[in-house]
């Protein structure tokens, strides 16, 4: 690739599109009156189908971006600066995921609600990043093809055996850990099977990195993505049904009856093809900024919609009561508000973090000053308490 095309703008644009679709999807799904959820209505059914594409695209793009940045640097293993950054990022996402599910009123009353332990998008992406790092470190001193092979293998195993995995409740594990693997306790996303989209994203990024200097990279990539995506969408179910009839293995029949993972993977490939095809138009500064601010947008949307920390979000007051015109207008306003606030935060991020750091240092210094100033008082209080205890002990002896 030449200097101008070194950055894959279409990936940033895909991430921006995915986060915007997530915003409107969460808003409409959470606030639309169930009376209007008619699957026979073409508009609603189309919206519902495209809403289902959002999460697979987001996970795949996240795996793609992280792996692409991980393998493009010359350093290998733990010397790779992306390893340490990735570990910090993965742990940060896990921490933020839990913080967003905290309720301050519950903490003040000494209670931690069960919802705090539920697993969501940020938990899964954070753990996916750590998994990608683990696979990378495991294969770094081995043959080059092992890394992408394992990534592809993880996806295939998780997707193929999902009908078996979803029957397991992992009751032998504490709920806080089991929630990463099962939806039985209320988790929205679980590492099984959603890690599979992140690893296939990593696999695709390895291919892009290997053939980045190939003259016809995009022509081949676009056609391959369209063909593979179409086959997964329109033919994968029939393949699993045919395989079941030949082998008699029930697993393939179970996949046929609920073949959402492979169909959604096909959708992801088609979305990749569309964005690659339109890549020359994906250099808008605002779009790229949105794509780079997905974490901020996600946090802001969670606070406004679901009421993180206080429980006073839109979901509490308008849960499943809005009519279509109101919910559509509200979704547009919600998308604008979240992205506007996130972009504003991005412009002043260093200043805000500096003020927060100053505030922490100020509180720390004041606390130390108060501690030192109160030393004579504490010494006198300790002396009086000691005398008081000695008197009590003296009375007991008597």
How many other CB atoms are there within 10 angstroms of residue 55's CB atom? 20
DSSP state of 235: T
Nearest of 78, 79, 126, 118 to residue 102 by alpha carbon: 118
Angle at 307 between CA 306 and CA 310, to 5 degrees: 155
How many other CB atoms are there within 10 angstroms of residue 300's CB atom? 20
pLDDT score at 166:
87
pLDDT score at 40:
87
Strand-pair partners of 322: 32
- What is the biggest distance separating any 2 CA atoms in the chain, rounded to whole angstroms? 98
Contact 225, 160 (CB under 8 A): no
Contact 121, 58 (CB under 8 A): yes
Nearest of 100, 162, 124 to residue 309 by alpha carbon: 100
| Residue 329 burial by Cβ neighbours in a 10 Å radius (0-12, 13-18, 19+) | exposed
Contact 132, 200 (CB under 8 A): no
pLDDT score at 116:
86
Enumerate residue ranges in the chain where pLDDT < 70: 1-6, 108, 110, 349-350, 352-364, 366-367, 369, 371-372, 388-398
DSSP state of 7: S
pTM: 0.86
Tokens standing for residue 332: 């547009």
pLDDT score at 290:
93
| Sign of the Cα pseudo-torsion (89, 93, 99, 100, in order) | positive
| Residues making up the chain, counted from first to last | 398
The 8 Å CB, 24+ separation contacts for 140-147 are 140/76, 140/77, 141/77, 147/71, 147/206
Q: Where are the alpha helices (DSSP H) in the chain?
A: 9-31, 42-72, 81-99, 104-108, 121-139, 146-160, 162-165, 175-178, 191-210, 217-234, 236-247, 250-257, 260-277, 285-291, 294-306, 314-318, 324-347, 349-373, 375-397
pLDDT score at 397:
45
Nearest of 220, 254, 256 to residue 236 by alpha carbon: 256
Nearest of 298, 255, 263 to residue 56 by alpha carbon: 263
| Sign of the Cα pseudo-torsion (318, 321, 326, 329, in order) | positive
Report the chain's terminal Cα–Cα distance, integer Å.
92
What is the crossing angle of helices 260-277 and 146-160, to 10°? 130
Nearest of 69, 94, 263 to residue 191 by alpha carbon: 94
């Amino acid at each position: 690739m030449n200097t101008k095309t070194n950055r894959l703008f279409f990936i940033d644009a895909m991430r921006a599109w995915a986060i915007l679709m997530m915003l409107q999807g969460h808003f409409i799904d959470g606030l639309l009156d169930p009376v209007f959820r008619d699957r026979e209505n073409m508009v609603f059914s189309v919206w519902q189908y495209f809403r289902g594409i959002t999460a697979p695209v987001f996970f795949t793009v996240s795996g793609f971006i992280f792996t692409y940045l991980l393998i493009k640097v010359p350093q290998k293993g733990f010397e790779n600066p992306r390893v340490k950054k990735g570990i910090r990022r993965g742990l940060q996402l896990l921490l933020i995921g839990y913080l967003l599910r905290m309720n301050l009123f519950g903490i003040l009353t000494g209670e931690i609600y069960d919802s705090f332990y539920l697993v969501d998008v940020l938990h899964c992406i954070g753990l996916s990043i750590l998994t990608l790092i683990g696979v990378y470190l495991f294969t770094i001193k081995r043959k080059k093809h092992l890394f992408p092979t394992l990534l592809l293998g993880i996806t295939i195993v998780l997707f193929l055996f999902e009908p078996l995995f979803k029957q397991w409740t992992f009751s032998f594990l504490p709920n806080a850990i089991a929630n990463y693997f099962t939806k039985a306790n209320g988790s929205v996303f679980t590492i099984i099977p959603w890690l599979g989209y992140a690893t296939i994203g990593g696999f695709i990024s390895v291919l892009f990195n290997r053939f980045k200097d190939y003259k016809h990279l995009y022509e081949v990539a676009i056609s391959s993505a369209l063909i593979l995506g179409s086959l997964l969408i329109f033919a994968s179910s029939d393949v699993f049904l045919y395989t079941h009839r030949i082998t008699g293995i029930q697993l393939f029949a179970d996949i046929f009856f609920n073949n959402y993972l492979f169909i959604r993977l096909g959708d992801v490939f088609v979305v990749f093809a569309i964005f690659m095809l339109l890549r020359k138009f994906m250099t808008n500064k605002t779009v790229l900024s949105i794509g780079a601010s997905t974490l901020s947008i996600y946090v802001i949307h969670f606070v406004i919609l679901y009421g993180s920390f206080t429980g006073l979000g839109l979901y509490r007051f308008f849960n499943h009561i809005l009519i279509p015109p109101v919910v559509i207008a509200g979704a547009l306003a919600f998308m604008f508000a979240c992205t506007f606030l996130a972009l504003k935060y991005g412009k002043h991020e260093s200043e805000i973090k500096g003020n927060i750091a100053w505030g922490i240092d100020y509180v720390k210094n004041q606390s130390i000053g108060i501690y030192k100033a109160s030393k004579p008082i504490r010494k006198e209080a300790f002396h009086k308490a000691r005398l008081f205890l000695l008197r009590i002990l003296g009375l007991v002896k008597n």
